Amino acid sequence: MARTRLLLSLLCVATAASRLRFHGQVGGDTLSRNSFAVDAATSDATLFGSSSGPQVNYAFDGDESDDLDFEFELDLEDVDTTSKAQFAAAQQHAEVELDARSGGNVAYARPRTLQKIAPRTFNYGRGVGYETTQAVQSDELLFAVPLYQVMSLVSARKARIGVLLEVNPNLPPAVALAMHLLEERFLGVESNFSEYIERLSSIDAINSTIFYTQDELEMLEGSQIYRVTVARAKAVENFFSVLVGPVTSFAVDPPLFSKDEFTLENFRWALGIVWSRAFSVSGAEEDIVLAPVLDTIGACMDDSGCPKNRIEVHPSAQQLLVYASKDYAPGQEVLMDMSDKASTVLMLNYGFTRIVPSRALDQVDISIFLDPNDTLIDVKAFLLQSQNMSLNDSYVLHYGGEALDEKLTTSLKIKLLQGNEMGRFKDLLGVAAQAQAQDKDYTEPRRIVSLRNEYVFARAVLLTCKNLLQQYPTTLEHDQAALDAIQDPLGASRKTQILRMLVLEKQIVHHAMQLAQQQWTDLLLSDHPNLLRTDE
């Protein structure tokens, strides 16, 4: 009969809980004392065990002087079905409250579940979503995952792959965790993470753009997401080329991988899993983990309405603890804060965009280069360097911005200066503008050198945006009409997400063109003195 792995958390009310001794059986299998741990500071006890049958019997007693006895029977078939579905073939996780009664026994035939969430939804690009089964207050423990089920850089260093990480300390955390995942995958049932790994998505089910078909990539042709997807795919190939030799070498005997195991396809799968499922405990990249529940839980992407995540590692209890970041009503979906990610990053990692674009994060990168035959190129390079800029800087066009990016404006206007305007380049700098603000006799807030400079600046932005739009095989109007025709409000398909991304990018570029045109039109009413200045 298949064995059922059990993680039992005990909330011990007795002050003597830290001195409890354990004895008993789990489905006929005796558990050692090493399977039982009590946190003396919190009086929380955790028991790890496994059973080949549904009946689990436990008994606890205190020190002889305490005269405290606890016993109860746990029937796994009594655990609610939602909890079973959530931890199918992985764990049953229950909480039993023990009330100390001198000289007596307390039996709980139906324990209260510790888990306050249940798998009831599905989110495209993430996976199984969870809803609360009861009211949960902010900062209340929402769910816990035993550390033996959590893959991290810490567990990676303890595995054989730790040899690779030791000699390559600068390996990106995502790559390091992917190598750990790949090693554990090929250990099969010998891996502590085998049950978790068996339920991970296949490479065809990962929606990151690097796994798109050729037809799907052709829909993205000319877009920024296409360019970064190609760049990431190339980076994966480069990392594979660097790693394949060392990890299949007999310098480590036996090798970390056979050549049949460490293939580009398997490496891509492992990275795809990490990108789409890993979650940072602290927010830092080096603290990413792969953990059940946390790896597919829903994402909150509201710029202003996402409470910060609270995730902690409890070393003594050997658990990853996830606390509620807000008050939840029963039946409300649990979401983790992912509001710091732009749509481009979300498409790369998960295959979906933000539902509501972010003014702070969503952007399109552009490059505008100086004519290499410009006789003032060295002088302009020096001026840009003095402002921590360079001739090769790229610029950003923001979604819904009220004005063009300040760096774009300053840098490009410096690049477009001509000889008789060089002496007034400080008029483009913030420090000079502040110094003139007190005694200036005009109201124009913009930094202007000359009418000619403003004209060539607006023209350069418009032509660059026009060229970007011409690289797309379709227009904004075409993509918007195609998106409206799909009638997929949940965005549960690659085609929907592709069209959303294309619409977003083109909206950003069109908006930048509108800003440049408006900026030029506003000069008609500007009172800036440099607009009427003539230079000898």
Between 461 and 60, residue with greater pLDDT: 461
Q: Is residue 143 part of a domain?
A: no
Measured CA distances, 240 to 157, 171, 250, 366 (Å): 20, 12, 18, 30
Cβ atoms within 10 A of the Cβ of 487, count?
Answer: 7
Render 256-303 in DSSP notation, one character per residue: SS-TTTS-HHHHHHHHHHHHHH-EESSSSGGGEEE-TTTTT-EEE--T
Q: Is residue 358 part of a domain?
A: no
- Chain centroid to CA 257: how far? 28
Boundary-marking domain end, from 74, 94, 115: 115
* b/e per residue 191-215 (b: at least 16 CB within 10 A): bebebbbeebeeeeebbbbbbbeee
> Is the model's pLDDT at 226 over the cut of 90?
yes
Range of weakest confidence among 55-69, 206-220, 226-240, 453-467? 55-69
Number of H helices, E strands in the chain: 15, 21
Q: Is residue 132 part of a domain?
A: no
Considering the domain architecture, whether residues 495 and 519 belong to the same structural domain is answered as: yes
Q: Tell me, what CATH number does 503's domain have? A: 3.90.1420.10
Range of weakest confidence among 50-64, 186-200, 241-255? 50-64
Q: Is residue 133 part of a domain?
A: no
Counting residues of the chain whose pLDDT is more than 90, the rounded percentage is 66
pLDDT for res 535: 64
Considering the domain architecture, whether residues 104 and 207 belong to the same structural domain is answered as: no
The β-bridge partners of 48 are: 7
Considering the domain architecture, whether residues 53 and 186 belong to the same structural domain is answered as: no
Between 146 and 86, residue with greater pLDDT: 146
Considering the domain architecture, whether residues 340 and 275 belong to the same structural domain is answered as: yes
What is this structure's pTM? 0.77
Which one-letter DSSP state was computed for residue 305?
T
Q: Is residue 141 part of a domain?
A: no
- Chain centroid to CA 159: how far? 25
Q: How does the average pLDDT of the chain come out, rounded?
A: 81
Considering the domain architecture, whether residues 96 and 185 belong to the same structural domain is answered as: no
Considering the domain architecture, whether residues 174 and 267 belong to the same structural domain is answered as: yes
Range of weakest confidence among 97-101, 149-153, 195-199, 244-248? 97-101
pLDDT for res 436: 54
Q: What's the average model confidence in pLDDT over 246-253?
A: 93
Q: Is residue 442 part of a domain?
A: yes
Closest alpha carbon to 223 in 492, 517, 500: 500
How far apart (Å, rounded) are the C-alpha atoms in residues 323 and 300?
Answer: 15
Counting residues of the chain whose pLDDT is more than 70, the rounded percentage is 76
Do 483 and 503 form a contact (C-beta atoms < 8 A)?
yes
How far apart (Å, rounded) are the C-alpha atoms in residues 196 and 194?
Answer: 5
Range of the domain at 64: 4-115
> Is the model's pLDDT at 407 over the cut of 80?
yes
Measured CA distances, 75 to 71, 98, 110 (Å): 13, 17, 7
Task: Give the model confidence (pLDDT) of 88-114 as tens digits.
Answer: 333 333 333 333 332 333 332 222 334
How far apart (Å, rounded) are the C-alpha atoms in residues 298 and 301?
Answer: 10
Q: Is residue 127 part of a domain?
A: no
Task: Give the model confidence (pLDDT) of 135-173 as tens digits.
Answer: 999 999 999 999 999 999 999 999 999 999 999 999 999
Q: What's the average model confidence in pLDDT over 110-134?
A: 81
Q: Is residue 264 part of a domain?
A: yes
pLDDT-derived band of residue 190, with 50, 70 and 90 as boundaries?
A: very high
SS3 11: strand
pLDDT for res 303: 81
> Using N-to-C axis directions, what is the helix angle for 224-247 and 264-277, rounded to 10°?
120
The token pair at 52 is 């080949």
- C-alpha dihedral, 413 to 514 to 491 to 275, nearest 10°: 0
Q: Tell me, what CATH number does 153's domain have? A: 3.90.1410.10
pLDDT-derived band of residue 8, with 50, 70 and 90 as boundaries?
A: very low
> Is the model's pLDDT at 49 over the cut of 60?
no
Considering the domain architecture, whether residues 152 and 244 belong to the same structural domain is answered as: yes
pLDDT for res 103: 32
> Using N-to-C axis directions, what is the helix angle for 451-471 and 406-415, rounded to 10°?
110
- Chain centroid to CA 452: how far? 46
Considering the domain architecture, whether residues 104 and 194 belong to the same structural domain is answered as: no
Which one-letter DSSP state was computed for residue 404?
-
| Total domain count, the chain | 3
pLDDT for res 489: 78
Give the position of tokens 């997807």. 229
How far apart (Å, rounded) are the C-alpha atoms in residues 206 and 351?
Answer: 8
Measured CA distances, 11 to 38, 68, 317 (Å): 10, 15, 12
Sequence-distant (6+) residues with CB within 8 A of 131 are: 117, 118, 120, 121, 331, 332, 333, 334
Phi, then psi, of 358 in degrees rounded to 5: -105, 125
The token pair at 19 is 């001195």
- Chain centroid to CA 26: how far? 39
Considering the domain architecture, whether residues 216 and 106 belong to the same structural domain is answered as: no
Which one-letter DSSP state was computed for residue 498?
H
SS3 13: coil
Considering the domain architecture, whether residues 159 and 58 belong to the same structural domain is answered as: no
Considering the domain architecture, whether residues 423 and 517 belong to the same structural domain is answered as: yes
Give the position of tokens 């009220």. 402
The β-bridge partners of 183 are: none
> Is the model's pLDDT at 379 over the cut of 60?
yes
SS3 76: helix
pLDDT for res 431: 54
Considering the domain architecture, whether residues 390 and 494 belong to the same structural domain is answered as: yes
